[in-house]
Amino acid sequence: MRRDIFQALADPTRRAILVLLASQAMTPNAIAEEFHSSRQAVSKHIQILTECELLKQEQKGREIYYSLEIEKMKEVDKWIEQFRNIWETKFNQLDKVLLTIKKQKK
């Protein structure tokens, strides 16, 4: 079963892993050290993020390093963009109303 990217992002631990890996690639052990949960639990989160193609892995010697897959995050950004446009329109409308009220008070 292929997991949905938004299901992966719904979990706060997985979001924290993505933030952690945004700045640098890390091994599973290094990632696990940042959390108050078992290595197995963190590995499961890494597995889900990898299945959703939010993480990529690279073998360096005996170690596997995980890093953020920036291109896949564009899928999320594209979905959020529709809401961003709505919010900006509403804020612009609010600005106009506030400006009208301000002018009326003068």
In the three-class reduction of DSSP (H, G, I as helix; E, B as strand; rest coil), residue 72 is classed as helix
Query: Which pLDDT score, from 0 to 100, does residue 2 have?
Result: 66
What is the rounded average pLDDT for all residues in the chain? Answer: 92
Residue 105 pLDDT more than 90?
no
| Structural domain boundaries in the chain | 1-68, 70-106
**CATH domain 1-68 topology:** Arc Repressor Mutant, subunit A (1.10.10)
Helix, strand, coil shares, percent, the chain, to 5: 65, 10, 20
Across the range 18-37, mean pLDDT stands at 94
| Cross-strand pairs, 13 | none
* Alpha carbons 31 and 65: distance in angstroms, whole number: 10
Q: From start to end of 1-106, where are the E strands? A: 55-60, 63-68
Count other C-beta atoms under 10 Å from residue 57's C-beta. 14
Give CA 37 to chain center in angstroms: 20
Residue 1 pLDDT more than 60?
no
